[in-house]
Structure 1
Amino acid sequence: MLTITEAAVGQVKTMMADDDDAKYLRIGVQGGGCSGLSYVMGFDTEINEEDKHLEIEGLEVVVEKENIPMLEGVKIDYKQNMMGGGFTIDNPNAIANCGCGSSFRTATNEGTPEEC
């Protein structure tokens, strides 16, 4: 369904170690951003009925089932440079991205674009 690189898994595990409530990495999509849809990543303590549970490189990941079509084939990476580090998301389903790369839209879901 989705790929999380070794570098990204390592960074998430480091971040989770500092958060007592972090049991799962939750990845999702919500309306917003210049292109209509924005990625959401955060920690959660439980799995809901509407979630799909994945294990990637020992990392427990949950994704709402309704978000799966928009995240199919996504690759999440973590890159470090002189200015710091950050996660990158490569989504083969995106037909348009905003300039900053934090929002997108797909052929089947325009989301709710915000004026930028």
Structure 2
Amino acid sequence: MTQVVEITEAASFQVKEMMRHNEEEGSYLRVAVKGGGCSGLTYGMGFEPEVAETDDQYEQHGIRILINKEDAPILQGTIVDYKQSLMGGGFTIDNPNAIASCGCGTSFRTAKKAGTPENC
């Protein structure tokens, strides 16, 4: 399977630290899209112990990644990075398919999928 989402080295280091801290070593990292937010879609990331029938999987920087086949077209070409600053750190998601996002930057929509917006 071709990679849908690119996980940078900085993000993969942080994911591995989180896996170790939460005793999730050996789990998969799921990158997902859900309905909601001001613009209609939001991102989700979490750990899963098993692969579902509807998942595509691949490995990058030693992290096993799961993407639901339905989410793959929306996430194609997305880059997940981790940025550190004086105020702390956090994951950033750069999705070339997003045509609009809300002011807080946590939700988006694409040309083909608007999602289900909520009031902010």
Pair in the same fold by TM > 0.5: yes
Instruction: Structure 2: give runs of 5+ residues left out of the alignment.
Output: none
Q: What residue number does 2:44 align with?
A: 40
Secondary structure, aligned partner of 2:71: helix
Q: How does 1:1-116 map to 2 (within 5 A)?
A: 1-22=4-25, 23-116=27-120
Deviation at 1:18?
Answer: 1.4
Tell me how many residue pairs correspond in the alignment.
116
For residue 66 of structure 1, give the secondary structure of its aligned residue in structure 2.
coil
After the TM superposition, which parts of structure 1 deviate over 6 Å for at least 4 consecutive aligned residues? none
TM-score by structure 1 length?
Answer: 0.97
Alpha-carbon deviations, 1:37-95, whole Å to 9, x = none?
A: 00000111110000001101110110111000000000000000011000000000001
Q: Distance in 2 between matches of 1:69 and 1:8?
A: 22
TM-score normalized with structure 2 length: 0.94
CA-CA distance at 1:20 after TM superposition: 2.3
The one-letter code sitting in structure 1 at the alignment partner of 2:12 is: V
RMSD of aligned alpha carbons: 0.8
Q: Distance in 1 between matches of 2:11 and 2:104?
A: 20
In 2, Cα distance between equivalents of 1:73 and 1:108:
15
